[in-house]
Structure 1
Amino acid sequence: MQPLRRRPAGGGTLPAMTSTSPQRPRQRRGSWRLLPFLLLLTLTVSLLLAPALAGAPAPGSSYALAQAAPFNRPSHYPLSQRPDSRLYQPHADWIGRLILPSVTETSREPGDWVWVEIEHAPPTAQGLEGQVLHLEWAQRPALRELVERVSTDVRFAAAAQEIEGQGNLLPRRLDGRLRVGPLQSLAGARPNDDLIVQLEEVELEPGADGSTRLSIGRPPLQISGRYVGPPEKAIARASL
């Protein structure tokens, strides 16, 4: 195309003006040539970032972290270990470690009952310390009716797997059990049989096989350990 010239009103000529329209298609074609490279770069970055966007691995549960320390396990405190009675006193008259019975045992003997390892007993029953005994509810109609009402079958839904993967602790040992009551739900709340409880309104009953059975009239109370420190006055007397 020839340069455009226009004569001004006052005479003379203007500088030549060249049209830039032929160059614009070349600029567009250059941008289109970059598009595949940009798409490839975006895809590469997305693949590299995919693991990060997916999230970090699910953290361990607080229970698992606590169990890493030996002093958080019952085995760290043998029953034969007796602290100074002037500085420590039993948390309660009856203290035990709950043990979840097997499915075979509950099938053979239905009902809401568990095993309990006696860690501390009153002076009249100290011979039971260290024994694993049968623990059930007292034979009271109102109490038994209440336990029956709250007992339920336990079946985890598919969402439980996702919740557990986030580090939440679920009573996995209870999954699939039938008619789980308060005692078994408490004993099976953790992966291990390490729940220490205080027992109240305890009654001793002879079993059919000659063993001793325990019955309680109130729900067990979870405690942190067998012994607690006495008041400050008692500590002052012990230091004299």
Structure 2
Amino acid sequence: MNNPISNLYRPIAPWSGRLILPQPSQRKPDGGVFIQIQNAPSSHRFLVGKQAWVKWHSTSHHTLWLSRATLDLKFDSTTYNSIEKTQAIHPKRLDGWQKVSPLESLAGARPDDDVQVELNVISATQEGNSWVLSIGDEPYQIAGVTKGLVTFVGPAGDRRYRVRHYNPASKAFNGPEEIVSCPDAGAIRSGQTVEQSSLVNIEKSPLNAGGLVYLRSF
């Protein structure tokens, strides 16, 4: 049976997923990386949840600068001091790698393979038992898997909020209500005093009346 609330969410992008940095033994001359596919067009919906290889398409206009942006990476003392003394995230997995490509740099920017991106896929082809996505433009960093248009009704405690969905039939915000989680709201990073984001009184914001996009991670 279809969930009426889940049906109100839409994919955040036609092609999107979580980048995965290959192991050194898995690297290829094309500078590609793996991706765990979270969204795909209906023609390739069977790939959702599976892993594919992402590389640049030969017709991409970015091919002119890719070789110049491919660099050897070796941390120096300044970088090591930064790692020890600050909360900054450094791509430690890439330290010592040669010819690090832009895609490898993006995938390796965070330590847990959790960089989510939207892809401009020109072609999706099967090579043996694997699938290869060839892109024409730079990946866009995103957050979430699906999105819904809602108005915020009020706080529900523990960084949760009660929201009301947009109803396409009535063209008004009188759809189903649900409680959503906003884990980053009010979060303060170690060593800092300013909240990264806040939802305090968001239900009173003038923008709320026209609807806000809530990004869901599943």
Q: TM-score per shorter chain, which class?
A: 0.5 to 0.7
Residue 156 (1) aligns with residue 81 (2): no
User: Which amino acid in structure 1 is aligned with residue 83 of structure 2?
Assistant: E
2:21 aligned residue: 100
Percent identity (aligned): 34
> Aligned-pair RMSD on alpha carbons?
2.2
Q: Which protein has the bigger helix share?
A: 1
1:170 aligned residue: 90
Is residue 115–residue 135 contact of structure 1 (8 Å, CA) maintained in 2? yes
Residue 133 (1) aligns with residue 52 (2): yes
Aligned residues: 156
Give the one of 200, 218, 223 matched to 2:142.
Answer: 223
3-state SS in 1 of match to 2:149: coil
Is residue 111–residue 179 contact of structure 1 (8 Å, CA) maintained in 2? no
**Matches of 2:174 and 2:120, distance apart in 1:** 30
Is residue 69–residue 101 contact of structure 2 (8 Å, CA) maintained in 1? yes
Is residue 197–residue 220 contact of structure 1 (8 Å, CA) maintained in 2? yes
1:124 aligned residue: 43
User: Shift of residue 139 of structure 1?
Assistant: 1.1
Is residue 60–residue 135 contact of structure 2 (8 Å, CA) maintained in 1? no
3-state SS in 1 of match to 2:67: helix
Residue 236 (1) aligns with residue 155 (2): no
3-state SS in 2 of match to 1:238: coil
- Superposition TM-score, scaled by structure 2 size: 0.65
Q: Which has the larger radius of gyration?
A: 1
> Unaligned 5+ residue runs, structure 2?
151-165, 178-218
User: Shift of residue 211 of structure 1?
Assistant: 2.3
> Unaligned 5+ residue runs, structure 1?
1-81
